[in-house]
Amino acid sequence: MKPGFAFLVHPLLHWHRRVMGVRRGHIGLALDHSAGIEAVGVAGSLTMPSNQGPVTGLIVAVPDTAAGLTSDQSRALAHQIRAAEIAIEHGVGAIGLANALGVVAGRGRFLAEQAPVPVTAGHAATAWAAIEITTMVAARQPGPIGVLGFKGTVGEAVAAALASAGHEVWVDATGSAAVRRAEKTGCRAATTQEVAGRAVVLVGGSTTGPVLAPSLVRGNTVLVDLALPPTLEPGPRPDGLTIVAGETLSLPGAITAGFWGRIWLTMANYGRGCVFACLAEPLVIAMTGESGWSEGRRLDPERLADLGGQLKRLGYHPVIRKR
Amino acid sequence: MADLPPDVDPEMFATVQASFCEALELDDDEVGWDSKILDDLGAESLDLLDVVFRLERSFDIQIPRGGLEAQAQEVDGQPGEVDGRLTEVGAARLRELMPEVPADEITAGMKSAELATVFRVGTFYNIVKALLEQKAG
């Protein structure tokens, strides 16, 4: 079976580099020393189930952690290009960018300009899953919804969709431009502290990790968390706080993976029988031949709904899962 | 939109402006010399990463992360920052480094982590200009 799509990943922690080094037989990487472009390579593969038959995903890893990728974006782009070349040699029809690889080098736009197959950071699938999961949570717990990370692509799309559906949505928007965007999308602008204090359902969509002291969150709040590292700073949490993953999709069957593919799923924190939505977007591209859902800084609500329909047809459904 | 200061190279500024426009999907007339990056342009931290990369490619330079803050960490043997907040000497040094920012916006006691809130488009022009001068020797 030819691989349908590739997912370009990087080590999230230093011990991940060591594991990747062992997999690649790369001594420098295995010892967590610096490693060059020769360390880019296949980290594993997995076969994803779908209602239209299985599709294979190739995991291609670059050697740098997020800190390394963001501190030298030219090097990050060179690594992205090398990883894409390897993926294309394996015949993939779409490329997904995981974690910091979807942030650097123009959020993947410079790679997309050069790659002969569609490239996506998966923002559209993430936003769609977060909208669906938050809607399910809000149906059980009615009241004001807060969205943190409104200035980001996913945060704004989620807030706008929820407001458009008639929810009372508060967003962390304090600058003049952000306040204007909030008004335009039907949301109410406030500080992070005010948003957390009002919401009974809180969406953590910040792109920079912990932004909120737990003491600012109301008791019995449900936090739908998209952020990695997580939204909440360390500290005692309020009574009754529930945290659910913001972009988890259930699958129409089991993922099958070899030893190294299974290792990668574990390192990337994927639970059993589910995936993060960003992984599913390149899969949809590979299966349907359609693409472009995540293009641009602002996501189109109609295109999000279209992508959601495609995911559901393939058997991928948003699911509430505790983090 | 305010005019450019007299010593600013319009061509170089246009390239800096274009980097902001492309990264933030804004029109030229929305991105001026005095525009505050976070407040007026609505950028978030990842947008800054995008802008920096576009500037690096356009001018063939490498912009060090936290370069301004690093230059104000210690001034003539005195700390420019204590417990994450600017000291008087640190604030004074940053006012020198960022003449495009009104002086009353950089004050002692300000959190160093919040420095980006005062950045103007002109701040990035000046960073690029300094790096190009350094490169030219």
Do A112 and A197 lie in one domain? The reply is no
Is there a domain that residue A323 lies in?
no
Mean pLDDT of A106-118: 95
Q: Tell me, yes or no, whether A322 lies in a domain.
A: no
Mean pLDDT in residue range A195-201:
97
- B72 occurs within a structural domain: yes
Which tokens in the block code for residue B70? 């690093």
Q: What is the mean pLDDT of residues B62-88?
A: 88
Q: Is residue A180 assigned to a domain?
A: yes
Q: Is residue A320 predicted with pLDDT exceeding 90?
A: yes
Q: How many CA atoms lie within 13 A of B22 on its CB side?
A: 19
- What total of structural domains would you count in chain B? 1
**Does residue B83 belong to any structural domain of this protein?**
yes
pTM of the model: 0.92
Does residue B101 lie in a domain region?
yes
**Chain B: nearest CA to A258, how far in angstroms?**
35
A184 in a domain, yes or no?
yes
CATH, residue A130? 3.40.50.720
Q: Is A320 on the interface with B (CB under 8 A)?
A: no
Residues A235 and A292 in one domain: no
Contact assignment for B50 to A74 by CB distance below 8 Å:
no
pLDDT value at position A229?
Answer: 81
User: What's the gap in Å between the CA of A152 and the closest CA on chain B?
Assistant: 7
Instruction: Examine residue A260 and state whether it is found in any structural domain, yes or no.
Output: yes
pLDDT score at A210: 86
| Confidence check: pLDDT of B1 > 60 | no
CATH of the domain at B79: 1.10.1200.10
B4 found inside a domain? no
- Give B-chain residues touching A182 at CB under 8 angstroms: none
Instruction: Specify whether A28 is located in the same domain as A168.
Output: no
Q: What is the mean pLDDT of residues A145-158?
A: 96
Structural domain contains residue B68: yes
pLDDT at A171: 98
Q: Are residues A114 and A135 in the same domain?
A: no
Residues A167 and A310 in one domain: no
Whether pLDDT at A2 is above 60 = no
Q: How far is the first Cα of chain A from the last one, in angstroms, to the nearest whole number?
A: 34
- In this structure, are A254 and A113 located in the same domain? yes
- Whether residue A231 sits in one domain with residue A130: yes
One domain for residues A137 and A235: yes
Could you give the residue ranges of the DSSP H alpha helices within A205-254? none
Is B5 among the domain residues? no
* A321 in a structural domain: no
Tell me the nearest-neighbour CA distance from B30 into chain A, angstroms.
11
pLDDT attached to residue A262: 87
- Shortest CA distance from A107: residue in chain B: B50
Kindly state whether residue B2 falls inside one of the protein's structural domains: no
**Boundary of a domain, candidates A219, A246, A273:** A246
DSSP state of B25: T
pLDDT at B79: 92
A215 with A102, same domain: the answer is no
The DSSP 8-state label assigned to residue A308 in this structure reads H
DSSP string, chain B: -PPPPTTS-HHHHHHHHHHHHHHHT--GGG--TT-BTTTTS---HHHHHHHHHHHHHHHT----TTHHHHHTSEETTEESEETTEE-HHHHHHHHHH-TTS-GGGS-TT-BGGGGGGG-BHHHHHHHHHHHHHHHH-
Looking at A230, A246, A262, which one is the last position of a domain? A246
pLDDT for the residue A251: 94
- C-alpha to C-alpha distance for A298 and A309, rounded to whole angstroms: 20
d(CA B85, nearest CA chain A) in Å? 18
For residue range A46-71, list pLDDT tens digits in order: 999 999 999 999 999 999 999 999 99
Q: What is the largest CA-CA distance in chain A?
A: 56
CA distance A45 to A9: 12
Q: Is the CB of A105 less than 8 angstroms away from the CB of B45?
A: no
Same domain for A241 and A169? yes
Contacts of B43 in chain A (CB under 8 A): 151
Q: State the pLDDT at residue B73.
A: 84
Residue pLDDT, tens place only, A262-272: 888 888 877 77
Query: Quick check: is A274 in a domain?
Result: yes
Asked whether residue B16 is assigned to any structural domain, the reply reads yes
Q: How confident is the prediction for chain A on average, in pLDDT? A: 93
Query: What is the reported pLDDT for A241?
Result: 96
- Of chain B, the end-to-end C-alpha distance in Å amounts to 34
Q: What are the strands of the beta sheet with A95-97, ordered from one edge?
A: A119-120, A95-97, A3-9, A55-61, A41-48, A256-257
A58 shares a domain with A17: yes
Check residue B2 and give its pLDDT. Answer: 62
Q: Judge whether residue A3 has pLDDT over 80.
A: no
- Dump pLDDT digits (tens) for B5-45: 999 999 999 999 999 999 999 999 999 999 999 999 999 98
Domain count, chain A: 2
Range of the domain at A65: 3-121+250-316
Residue range A294-318: average pLDDT? 95
Residues A41 and A115 in one domain: yes
In chain B, % of residues over pLDDT 70: 99
pLDDT tens column, A9-31: 999 888 999 998 988 889 888 88
Domain, as residue range, for B81 = 10-136
Burial class (CB in 10 A: 0-12, 13-18, 19+), A164: middle
Contacts of B47 in chain A (CB under 8 A): 151
Confidence of residue A255 (pLDDT cuts 50, 70, 90): very high
Two tokens at B127? 């960073």
